[in-house]
Structure formats: structure tokens, C-alpha cells
Amino acid sequence: MSNFEQKIFNATHEAVKQLFDIDADQSMLVIETPKDPKLGDYATSIAMRLTKTLRKNPMEIAEPIAEKLGELLPEAESISVARPGFINFRLKNTALASLINQVIEAGDDYGKNDSGKGKKILVEWVSANPTGDLHCGHARNAAWGDSICRLLEASGWEVLREFYVNDAGNQIVMLGESLVSRYFEHFGQSYPLPEGGYHGEDVRQIAKSIAEADGDKWLTADPKERLAYFMSEGKARELEKIDRDLKLYRVEIQSWMHETFFYENNRARINAVLERMEKLGLTYEKDGALWFRSTDYGDEKDRVLRKSDGTLAYVTPDIANHVHKVERGYPLLVDLWGADHHSYVTRMQAAMKALGYPAGTLSVDLIQMVRMVEDGVEVKMSKRTGNALTIRELCADIGVDAARWFFASKDVSTHMDLDLKLARSKDNNNPVYYAQYAHSRMRSILTNPKTPAFHAQESYERLTDEKELQLLKLIGEFPAEVANDAALRKPNKLADYILSLVKVFHSYYNSSKVINLDDPALTNERLGLVQATVITLKNALNLLGVTAPESM
């Protein structure tokens, strides 16, 4: 709820309590914005919701509530009742405008709220295999996850940002063998590239750097020792590059959890989970393998935990990983996975449920596919390397701001076409440009040498233009927008909010004269409004990882 909505809620709650001795909660008492602004700024249907309880016509309930609210809500200019029982509120202009000083005083902190205070959450995202470059699919995942973390942090949550490194499987062996092949090639010798190996330019460059640093000593080294070294070096260097690319993309990872952590150093953790599952009667032996009774918990079939040859199925260390997350003090977990992991969600949630963790402990956002499109044609490959378009290349092409905006502004539950030509464009058809241009317009007003110095004042009674009031209402809704979007994990809703804010501002800028030297009092109030708007817009853009330029 916005500050205004909260005041209306509190007053209405008190009125219902006094009149009918009913403690209306948020499921019953909902504050809405009327579709027709002529009806008022806000409305509630509480009278209709109380009809069955009180056995009265909603109009008979609404009228005494409205009358009582006249005493309890001094911020209201008018409170009216409309059939079939809506109560409509129109706030005093001064009540709206009093927000200006609050926003200016809060500055960079405006929008922060305590809705997540005292709550801890671990968000795991990107989690790409350390075998190559991050591509555009990862870019969508990275932007979405980072924006979720920013929203949660702004809402008071204690967030751990984690990347799970899949570094214990055959793909790391393939990486090591591919590096050995390129290393031999560097010295003009033959070593076959394994089937299913990695052909990327990054592999060739890593092999070259090893050759330049170590010389030819690995040509005659023990094959096992050589492979172990190249696997370790390849993984480390690929992760360094991944971290570097994520930082370029304005994504900060706090914790890098390795799959090998469970295999090599903490096999006891996996064994402890298996023993725990056995004691709970969750496993059984069949055909020499160990199975999890996952069908008892909603899965479509039971899952193998340990294969007949003694090796572990991928799900087993992953269960141990999620148990370890909770054991580290994070009762709420969020994972962002590719859409091809749809069935995997069910089995992981089944495992957590079977182990006794509360429903909702693990939530998963599935990231649908993204296509790069230019002039109606899909762009699959890098022009430079012929491989998949990487995050680095995408950022160099359209810029970090555009990439972050477009990926955060489209719900990840839907497939996405990213129009590269639109993302590059410098006009109002490009939504990120449209938003940033609004910010630069505001800053140009405030930094113009001819602009008078702004002085905060106790009230702003001259701000009566419809667009001024629209801006104030939107500004007032910002903290609630942040809290709601954090709770829903929906950065795209914040992007919608930003566009609503800048649309009203652009319209206001084109229809009203902010600086009027013949009317210094009105000018000062409008400068206050512009300052409050620019603070709100900058803070909102930051939550999406998008910059707010001073000029364009």
C-alpha cells in the first residue's frame, strides 16, 4: 500500500471497528484505484463485503462508514458513496503535496521499506556451467535475478546472492580434454578433440595462456595429472570470466557454491541426507539402485538417487545443496532455472517436502527462451566468432542499460523476442530511452543556471494541475510498488510503473511551464515536484540495474 492507501485503510478499519465491532483484515478491506478518476483518488468495496455478515443493504452499510470517515480521515477532501456500495475518497491537494518534502529528505533511500524486515532468503540464479561464455539466455536470467535481489534488499530482506557451480560432472572432464587438445595444437602436435568437447575461441585462448605460462612441460606429463590440472585451470579461468561478465552486467554474486564441495570435501553431507531419507522411509532398493519415493510427494515417477554402479544421480547432491542452504540459516529459497527444468522443479520440491521442510521453502522461477531478432530475422550467432551471442557482445551492441531493461521488463514466464534494432534506437519508441530521457529532462530543469534555487516549504497548495496530482499519487505509490514487486518477484511490474511515471511527466512537461519567473511561488512548488519525481525515477531505474543519465 502507498502512504495514502495505508491512511485510508487504517481510518476505514477503525470506522468499521467502531460501527460494527468487526476487525476487517486486508482480505476483506481492499483499497483500490477507481478506473474513472472522476470518481475519486481511491475507493473501497468494504460495504459490499460486509453485506452477508451484517445482513444489510450495502448502501446502508456504506453511508455510516463514510460519515464516520469524515471524522477519522482529515486528509480527505471528500468521501462519497456510490451504488451499489462503493466508498470513494478524494484527497486534499495539500495531503498529496506534503509528500514532496518526505521524498527529498529520503533521497536515495526513498522507496525502501520494511516489508521484508527480519526475513532471510537465498536467491540462486544464472548457475551456468563453467565451460564457456555466458550467452543471451543467461543474460535474461541474470537481469531478472539481480533485479529481484535489488527489490528484496530495498524491502528490508536479508538476501544471499548465490551462483551454483556445476563443476562435478562430465562437462568438466570434456573441458579439460578440450584444453589439452588445444594446448597440444599450440605446439603443433596432435591430441584429438573429444567427441562432445568444446570448440569455442575461449577454450583456445585459455590453452594458449597456459602454454605461454608453463611452456611445453604438459606435453610429456602424466596424463591423469595433466587432465586434473587442465580441468582445474579451465574451470577457474572460466569462472573468472563469468564473474567479470556479470560485473560488467551490474550483477554481483556474494556466494559461489560448488557442486564439488559436496563430492570432494563434504561427501558426508550427501551421506547424511541419504541416511536421513532412509530413516524417514523415503528410499528403497531396486535393481541395485537406490530410489526416492518421490511419487508420494507429487512427482510423476520415483527418482534414482544412487545408480547401480554406485555413482550418484545429479539430483542427489542437489538435494544436499538445498538442505545445506536451509542449514546455513535461509528458510526461504528461490532458484531461477531454464524452462527445460520444468519437471526438475517438482522433484526438488518433493524432496524438500519429504524431508519435512514447510511448503513454500523452495520457490522456482522458470526462465523461458529468448530470441535475438533484427529486421524480423532471428540472430543466433555472433558475427565475430560464429558462436552464440554472448553477454559481452550484447552489452557492446545495445548497451548494458538496454539489455537490463528489456530483460527485466518482460515476465520470464513468457517467451521473448528482443528486437536489437529497437534496443539500439535513440528515440521514444525505445522504452529505456523514453525513461532515461525523462530523467535527463528533469535534471536539465534543476541544473539550468537560470533555474532559481529551490526552498522546501511546509505546504504546496499551488500544485492543483491534474497532471501534478497524478505525479504525486504515483510518487506516493512507489514504496508500496517496491514492496509488492519484491514479494511477487516481478521486476517487470516495476518497469510498468516507471513507464507510467515518465508518461505523466513527459505530458506534464509538454503542457506546463515549470519555471515561471513571473510567479516565483508556483515555480518553487513545481521545482519541489520535479525534485521528488527525479528522485523516484532514479531509484526505480536503479532497482532494475539501469542508470539515470544527467543528460542525453
DSSP letter at 198? -
DSSP state letters, 435-471: HHHHHHHHHHHHH-TTSPPP---S--TT--SHHHHHH
**pLDDT, position 214:** 96
Return the pLDDT at 380.
Answer: 76
pLDDT at 539: 98
- pLDDT at position 430, please? 98
Q: Which amino acid is at 389?
A: L
Closest CA to 363 of 152, 195, 531: 152
pLDDT over 60 (residue 383): no
CA distance 114 to 45: 27
The grid coordinates listed for 444 are 536539465
* Distance set, CA 470 to CA 336, 434, 476, 495 (Å): 36, 19, 10, 18
Please name the helix (run of DSSP H) or strand (run of DSSP E) that holds residue 80, with its range, or none. Answer: strand 76-82
pLDDT in tens, 400-440: 999 999 999 999 999 999 999 999 999 999 999 999 999 99
Task: Tell me the mean pLDDT in the region 319-342.
Answer: 96
Q: What is the pLDDT of residue 135?
A: 92
pLDDT confidence of residue 509: 95
Residue 330: the pLDDT is 98
- Give the model confidence (pLDDT) of 144-174 as tens digits: 999 999 999 999 999 999 999 999 888 999 9
pLDDT at 22 over 60: yes
Residue 500 cell numbers, joined: 507510467
Cell of 288: 541395485
pLDDT over 70 for what percent of the chain?
Answer: 98
Q: Which of 406, 541, 436 is nearest to 110 (CA)?
A: 541
- What's the rounded Cα separation, in Å, for the pair 458 and 400? 41
Mind listing the pLDDT tens digit for each residue in 30-78?
998 888 878 888 999 999 999 999 999 999 999 999 999 999 999 888 9
Q: Where in the chain is the domain with CATH 3.30.1360.70?
A: 3-91
DSSP class of residue 408 equals H
Mean pLDDT score, 329-357: 95
Does residue 26 register a pLDDT over 70? yes
Looking at every residue in the chain, the average pLDDT score rounds to 93
pLDDT in tens, 87-122: 999 888 777 778 999 999 999 999 999 999 999 999
Q: What pLDDT is recorded for position 266?
A: 55
Per-residue pLDDT at 382? 55
Instruction: Tell me the pLDDT band of 3, cut-offs 50, 70 and 90.
Output: confident
| CATH 1.10.730.10 boundaries in the chain | 427-543
pLDDT at 265: 57
Q: Are strands 42-44 and 362-367 parallel, antiparallel or unpaired?
A: unpaired
From CA 133, how far away is CA 387, in angstroms rounded? 10
Give every CB contact of residue 282 below 8 A, 6+ residues apart in sequence. Answer: 292, 293, 296, 354, 355
pLDDT digits (tens, 9 = 90+) for 247-270: 999 999 999 999 999 887 557 889
Distance CA 100, CA 476 (A): 9
Residue 382 grid coordinates:
555472433
pLDDT at 123: 98
How far apart are the C-alpha atoms of 61 and 429, rounded to whole Å?
Answer: 48
DSSP characters for 114-163? -TTTT-EEEEE-----TTS--BHHHHHHHHHHHHHHHHHHHTT-EEEEEE
The amino acid at residue 281 is G
pLDDT in tens, 284-324: 999 999 999 999 999 999 999 999 999 999 899 999 999 99
Residue 485 · residue 494 · CB < 8 Å: yes
Give residue 199's pLDDT: 86
CA trace torsion 52, 57, 59, 61 (10° rounding)? -50
**Residue 275: all three cell numbers together:** 541416511
CA dist 239 and 384 (Å) reads: 22
Work out the average pLDDT over 202-229.
Answer: 96
pLDDT value, residue 381: 61
Write out pLDDT tens, residues 477-515.
999 999 999 999 999 999 999 999 999 999 999 999 999
Give the whole-angstrom CA distance, residue 146 versus residue 71: 45
Closest CA to 166 of 93, 72, 260: 260
| Model confidence, pTM | 0.90
Give me the pLDDT at residue 387, please. Answer: 65
Q: What is the DSSP string of 297-311?
A: GT-SS-EEEE-TTSP
pLDDT attached to residue 169: 83
Segment 217-226 mean pLDDT: 96
Q: Average pLDDT in the 388-404 region?
A: 94
Bridge partner residues of 147 (DSSP): none
From the DSSP assignment, how many helices (H) and strands (E) are in the chain?
Answer: 21, 15
Q: Which CATH class is domain 427-543?
A: mainly alpha
Question: Cα–Cα distance between 309 and 177 in angstroms, integer?
Answer: 24
Q: Would you give the distance in Å from CA 102 to the centre of its chain?
A: 26
- Cis before 194 (ω within 30): no
Please state which architecture CATH assigns to domain 3-91: 2-Layer Sandwich (3.30)
CA–CA distance, 403 with 391 (Å, rounded to integer):
9
If we measure between CA atoms, which residue out of 431, 412, 420, 424 comes closest to residue 373? Answer: 420
